[in-house]
Amino acid sequence: MKKKELLYEGKGKRLFKTADENLLISEFKDDLTAFNAQKKGSEKGKGALNCKISTELFKLLEKNGIKTHLVETISDNEQLVKKVDIIPLEVVVRNIATGSLTKRLNIKDGTVLPFSLLELYFKDDDLGDPLLNDEHCTLLNIASKDELEVLKNEAKKINTILKSFFKDKGLNLVDFKVEFGKDKDGNILLSDEISPDSCRFWDINTNEKLDKDRFREGIGNVKVAYEEVLARILDNN
């Protein structure tokens, strides 16, 4: 399957049409952005790392009953995926408080939350991805109530699966963001990616950050951290 015209370019990926109208090619970029793209950078090979990590995690989730857009990986940094209409929500699940949550609600950084907190943000760069409640989603025709329930349940299931998986790899899944899309039959599929760009991983023993916060906070060794995450995912011991 070969790339045809560019359909969409986001901050982390490019989506291309293919000869099959129901399939797209998702190309993972080396670009890094943070704070709604106010901070920009690039790490050669980051796209390929995220492509590998996301492929592994999507396969794991598929095995555990989560429907995803992934068909197969076709090169180092390209996936063949089902075409979906993206639901413009950033679905965030948090296990440990850090980042914007700590400032917004004055919760101490590193607080282990008593339950997995789910938040919905409107995927709209111009508006700064504002927090939404369920009624906002209905008002903006983002998703029906039933679709929201599906989204939320899927996101919580994904959290349960990944949290346990990463714990065995010595990583705390601090929080993550996922996106969903609807295929031509109305099925809600996990889309986009799951990678250190969209998750926070802290080493269980040292609390070392192994995710995009290294870029956000200028800690450095971004790619080394992403390589470490991939190595732990692939480690079968």
By the rule CB under 8 A, 138 interacts with a copy of itself: yes
Q: Does 144 bind a copy of itself (CB under 8 A)?
A: no
Which residues have C-beta within 8 Å of that of residue 223, sequence separation ≥ 6?
Answer: 43, 44, 45, 46, 49
155 binds a copy of itself (CB under 8 A): no
The set of residues, in sequence order, having a beta carbon less than 8 Å from that of 158 and lying 6+ positions away, is: 61, 66, 93, 176, 178, 190, 194
Closest CA to 48 of 12, 101, 3, 93: 12
Residue 122 within binding range of a copy of itself, rule CB under 8 A: yes
Does position 219 interact with a copy of itself (CB under 8 A)? The reply is no
Residue 117 interacts with a copy of itself (CB under 8 A): yes or no: yes
State yes or no: residue 109 binds a copy of itself (CB under 8 A).
no
User: Which listed range, 4-12, 68-76, 106-114, 180-188, lies at the site for a copy of itself (CB under 8 A)?
Assistant: 106-114
Residue 108 is a binding residue for a copy of itself (CB under 8 A): no
User: How many chain residues bind a copy of itself (CB under 8 A)?
Assistant: 24
Can you give the binding site for a copy of itself, defined by CB under 8 A? 104-106, 113-115, 117-120, 122, 124, 126-127, 130-136, 138-140
